[in-house]
Structure 1
Amino acid sequence: MSRVPKYRAWYKPKGVMIEPENLVMINFDTKVLGVYMEMDGKGYHVLRMSDFELLEYTGLKDINDQEIYEGDFLRIPDLYETPENTSTTYHTSVVDFEGFGFRVGGSQLCDDYQYISEECEVYGNIYENPELIEV
């Protein structure tokens, strides 16, 4: 059984994230998206795909049961604990799609499912929190 892709979309002209429940149609042939978004006195719009960045759901959730999407920042605890340093430190990595799968910090995301769901936290995304890219 194959998984049906789930997306959210960043609408570039207005700088807003369209969540999956408001992204009701994607037509890759005609290159348009059907979205619910208040604009020009209307709620439903069919807009050009080129005005969006599509962000696919990884199929994974973080420690808070939040869905993890391409472009999300994950707050990841460092696994290196020493007797002198028992406090947890964190680093942030971006989830991206490479080849045939999702990756975070250079490693295959699906290989670390239990670690992701038990330890990592979605900390923002590259569109709504661009200041985190520098961090």
Structure 2
Amino acid sequence: MTPKFRVWDETQHKMLQVDYIEFIDGKAYWFEASPADGNVQGENDGPVGGNSQLKLEQSTGLKDANGDDIYENDLVLLDPDDPPYQVIFDEGKFELSNDYLRLVYDLSEEHMDCEIIGNIHENPELLEEEK
């Protein structure tokens, strides 16, 4: 499986597609990204790291009930009566985390009936509603 990535641009407040990633010693070091719609508004490249305005997010390699790729920081519903879970990457694995319910599940094939309802960047209000 070829890893897939996306990038959240904190300045433009939009999700970008990754065009190029440079790895050094097995770690992502630099990347270039562009909007999926082709509407480029300045350069979108930079170092990978906590201080960058560009946030690199990896695909889990799994799809939701609608066939959409699930990425780190997506918000998913497991049960329509429960608050959403955030997809996180922790200690080498993807997990579903719900701070309100204080639950964490390993993201696996058994959760593929989940539905992506947004992500923490574009839909932070979905997490606020559960408080």
Give TM-score, length-normalised by structure 1: 0.73
Q: Distance in 2 between matches of 1:126 and 1:101?
A: 19
Q: Distance in 1 between matches of 2:122 and 2:56?
A: 14
Matches within 5 A, 1:49-60: 49=47, 50-60=52-62
1:99 pairs, out of 91, 97, 104, with 91
Match of 1:123 in 2: 117
Identical residues among aligned pairs (%)? 30
Counterpart amino acid of residue 47 in structure 1:
D
1:63 pairs, out of 48, 55, 65, with 65
Note if contact 1:61-1:116 (Cα within 8 Å) is conserved in structure 2: no
Unaligned 5+ runs, structure 2 = 98-103
Q: Distance in 1 between matches of 2:11 and 2:22?
A: 20
Unaligned 5+ runs, structure 1 = 78-87
Q: CA RMSD in A?
A: 1.9
Count of residues in Structure 1 that have an aligned counterpart in Structure 2: 112
Larger helix proportion of the pair: 1
